[in-house]
């Protein structure tokens, strides 16, 4: 089954790679670490983009576009940024090719060397704050609530489609504020926007929390994050929102005149999610038969496959299908009637199963006679999810079923997370759970980077976050035995 897909239990990583390939989501390109996002995969990303963009605008943000290149010197201006940020990036040193002397191709023209090298943006804080200096003079110019949809490049050594690629697509919000409180509120607000999107649209439950100092974004005073749990028990950071304090304003000399006439540095936030979300989507819902998509992000929500032998049979099925298609389209359902005569119904079933289409309708001559269709739900593959339903009021039934699938996927993922979240009180227990079960582990930590590092070195588990809405609970650190005020969330992460 599943067109020869490796089972998750056999090799989760291989299963993931095969889904990405067989569901036509993405593939590797001729450029090391850079991916091609195929039309079907891109259609899912477009749906994510559209909803996120709507949510950003609803919260008062506007889009803009900043240069892809950043002069090398900009990176040195914010000390913790350059120190903390990975230095693996694509560097442009020349601006011209010329014909090679042997006439066989082109070579870099050594005379066309840039005076200052340009970095292909790994993130845009520096170029954007260099721009904001020109935009901000007084409190009247604040807040600036800007987002950009862009490609960024980080020269990763080990890449995996969607999860870690040299080039990826993302959005990065960069806001500027009068006060610390306002900036902090913005950073928190955007984390809640992300959580709402990921839970309601991707049907992926997330923990909301803050990063420890050592896991923070370079240049940030506080990093808020959402963390999701994948089926293999590993955590995936799905989005981050940073309170940057006045660090970038100071580095790029961005001051504003207050209402009282004083000159003060501007407060900043930045926040982003990326095509990595595609990885989270795949690894939360999909099964051994292929991709499983929540209806809100499915490029095709309902597919209709006709089962026929004669042209007359096809015609009567087709007549009904066309009416249903129009009815569904009017209700805003994305529907495809697959009338391709070159492919067998069985091939189509496997194809749409692999591609995660939430509902499949099969219609044969008998169905036409009886006024029924065969409805199969992708979230419950096999016989269990298959039923004969009446053509009467079918469009409404399908809409309700899509809603049910959306909610059901979320509940299932949340149950999985609950079953794979463990509280431990000793380091032995911690290591045992990590080894045998994985998942999120709630444990006491003494708050020091030293302990955090030791645990990471010894177990590969990292502190994913300190939960935002957790209660204090005095305890002792599982590693050092020192006092701890509350538990934090550990996991092995993607």
Question: What are the residues binding a second copy (CB under 8 A)?
Answer: 27, 29-31, 34-39, 42-43, 46, 62-76, 82, 87-98, 104-106, 108-109, 117-120, 127, 130-131, 134, 140, 146, 150-151, 153, 155, 167, 169, 342
Residues pairing with 149 in the sheet? 171
Count CB atoms within 10 A of the CB of residue 335.
Answer: 22
Order across the sheet with 335-337: list the strands. Answer: 335-337, 302-306, 359-363, 372-377, 386-390
Contact 89, 126 (CB under 8 A): no
Q: In whole angstroms, how close is the CB of 162 to a second copy at the nearest point?
A: 12
Phi/psi-derived region of residue 211, left when phi > 0, alpha when psi is between -120 and 50, beta in every other case? beta
Q: In whole angstroms, how close is the CB of 23 to a second copy at the nearest point?
A: 14
Distances (CA, A) of 46 to 29, 40, 299, 452, 489: 21, 10, 9, 38, 32
| Cβ-proximal residues to 396 (8 Å cutoff; 6+ apart), any chain | none
Nearer to a second copy, 114 or 397 (CB): 114
Q: In whole angstroms, how close is the CB of 39 to a second copy at the nearest point?
A: 4
Phi/psi-derived region of residue 292, left when phi > 0, alpha when psi is between -120 and 50, beta in every other case? beta
SS3 457: helix
Structure tokens at 401: 């079923």
Q: In whole angstroms, how close is the CB of 339 to a second copy at the nearest point?
A: 15
Q: In whole angstroms, how close is the CB of 230 to a second copy at the nearest point?
A: 24
Write out the H or E segment, with its range, that includes residue 188.
helix 180-200
Nearer to a second copy, 106 or 418 (CB): 106
Contact 451, 479 (CB under 8 A): yes
Count CB atoms within 10 A of the CB of residue 476.
Answer: 15
SS3 129: helix
Nearer to a second copy, 111 or 472 (CB): 111
Nearer to a second copy, 36 or 418 (CB): 36
Residue 75 C-beta-side C-alpha neighbours within 13 Å: 22
User: What is the distance between the alpha carbons of residues 325 and 40, in angstroms, rounded to a whole number?
Assistant: 21
Q: In whole angstroms, how close is the CB of 271 to a second copy at the nearest point?
A: 17
Distances (CA, A) of 182 to 126, 188, 213, 220, 442: 21, 10, 22, 16, 31
Q: In whole angstroms, how close is the CB of 258 to a second copy at the nearest point?
A: 15
User: What is the distance between the alpha carbons of residues 214 and 212, in angstroms, rounded to a whole number?
Assistant: 6
Nearer to a second copy, 122 or 233 (CB): 122
∠ at Cα 16 (11, 22), nearest 5°? 120
DSSP class per residue in 353-373: HHTT-SEEEEE-HHHHHHTEE
Count CB atoms within 10 A of the CB of residue 327.
Answer: 15
Nearer to a second copy, 210 or 269 (CB): 269
Nearer to a second copy, 266 or 434 (CB): 266
Count CB atoms within 10 A of the CB of residue 121.
Answer: 24
Q: In whole angstroms, how close is the CB of 235 to a second copy at the nearest point?
A: 27
Q: In whole angstroms, how close is the CB of 401 to a second copy at the nearest point?
A: 26
Q: In whole angstroms, how close is the CB of 343 to a second copy at the nearest point?
A: 9
User: What is the distance between the alpha carbons of residues 424 and 345, in angstroms, rounded to a whole number?
Assistant: 51
User: What is the distance between the alpha carbons of residues 484 and 474, in angstroms, rounded to a whole number?
Assistant: 6
Altogether, the residues listed in the chain come to a count of 494
Nearer to a second copy, 30 or 382 (CB): 30
Nearer to a second copy, 73 or 370 (CB): 73
Q: In whole angstroms, how close is the CB of 434 to a second copy at the nearest point?
A: 33
Structure tokens at 207: 């923990």
User: What is the distance between the alpha carbons of residues 268 and 242, in angstroms, rounded to a whole number?
Assistant: 8
Q: In whole angstroms, how close is the CB of 298 to a second copy at the nearest point?
A: 15
Dihedral sign of CA atoms 45, 51, 52, 56 in order: positive
Q: In whole angstroms, how close is the CB of 89 to a second copy at the nearest point?
A: 7
Nearer to a second copy, 338 or 404 (CB): 338
């Amino acid at each position: 089954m599943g067109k020869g897909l490796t089972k998750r239990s056999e090799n989760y990583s291989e299963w993931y790679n095969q889904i990405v390939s067989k569901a036509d989501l993405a593939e590797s390109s001729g450029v090391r670490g850079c991916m091609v996002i195929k039309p079907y995969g891109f259609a899912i990303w477009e749906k994510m983009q559209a909803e996120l963009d709507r949510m950003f605008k609803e919260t008062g943000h506007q889009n803009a576009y900043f240069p892809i290149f950043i002069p090398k010197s900009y990176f040195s201006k914010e000390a913790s940024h350059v120190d903390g940020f990975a230095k693996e990036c694509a560097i442009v040193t020349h601006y011209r090719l010329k014909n090679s002397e042997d006439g066989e191709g082109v070579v870099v023209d050594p005379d066309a060397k840039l005076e200052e090298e340009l970095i292909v943006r790994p993130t845009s804080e520096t170029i954007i704050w260099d721009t904001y200096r020109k935009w901000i003079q007084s409190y009247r110019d604040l807040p600036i609530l800007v987002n950009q949809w862009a490609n960024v490049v980080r020269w990763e050594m080990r890449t995996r489609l969607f999860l870690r690629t040299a080039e990826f697509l993302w959005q990065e919000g960069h806001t500027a504020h009068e006060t610390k409180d306002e900036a902090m509120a913005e950073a928190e607000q955007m984390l809640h926007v992300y959580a709402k999107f990921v839970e309601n649209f991707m049907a992926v439950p997330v923990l909301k929390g803050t990063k420890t100092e050592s896991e923070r974004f370079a240049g940030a005073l506080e990093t808020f994050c959402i963390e999701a749990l994948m089926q293999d028990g590993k955590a995936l950071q799905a989005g981050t929102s940073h309170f940057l304090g006045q660090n970038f304003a100071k580095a790029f000399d961005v001051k504003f005149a207050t209402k009282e006439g004083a000159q003060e540095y501007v407060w900043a936030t930045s926040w982003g999610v990326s095509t990595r979300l595609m990885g989270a989507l795949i690894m939360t819902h999909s099964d051994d038969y292929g991709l499983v998509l929540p209806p809100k992000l499915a490029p095709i929500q309902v597919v209709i496959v006709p089962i026929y032998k004669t042209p007359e049979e096809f015609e009567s099925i087709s007549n009904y299908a066309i009416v249903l298609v129009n009815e569904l389209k009017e209700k805003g359902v994305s529907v495809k009637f697959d009338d391709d005569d070159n492919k067998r119904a069985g091939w189509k079933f496997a194809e749409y199963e692999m591609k995660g289409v939430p509902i499949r309708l099969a219609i044969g001559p008998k169905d036409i006679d009886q006024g029924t269709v065969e409805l199969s739900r992708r979230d419950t593959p096999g016989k269990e999810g298959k039923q004969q339903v009446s053509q009467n009021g079918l469009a409404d039934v399908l809409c309700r079923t899509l809603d049910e699938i959306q909610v059901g996927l979320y509940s299932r993922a949340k149950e999985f997370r609950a079953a794979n979240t463990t509280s431990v009180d000793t380091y032995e227990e911690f290591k045992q759970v990590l080894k045998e079960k994985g998942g999120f582990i709630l444990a006491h930590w003494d708050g020091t980077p030293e302990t955090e590092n030791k645990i990471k070195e010894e177990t590969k588990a990292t502190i994913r976050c300190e939960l935002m809405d957790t209660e204090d609970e005095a305890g002792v650190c599982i590693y050092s035995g020192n006092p701890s005020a509350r538990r934090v969330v550990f996991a092995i992460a993607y």
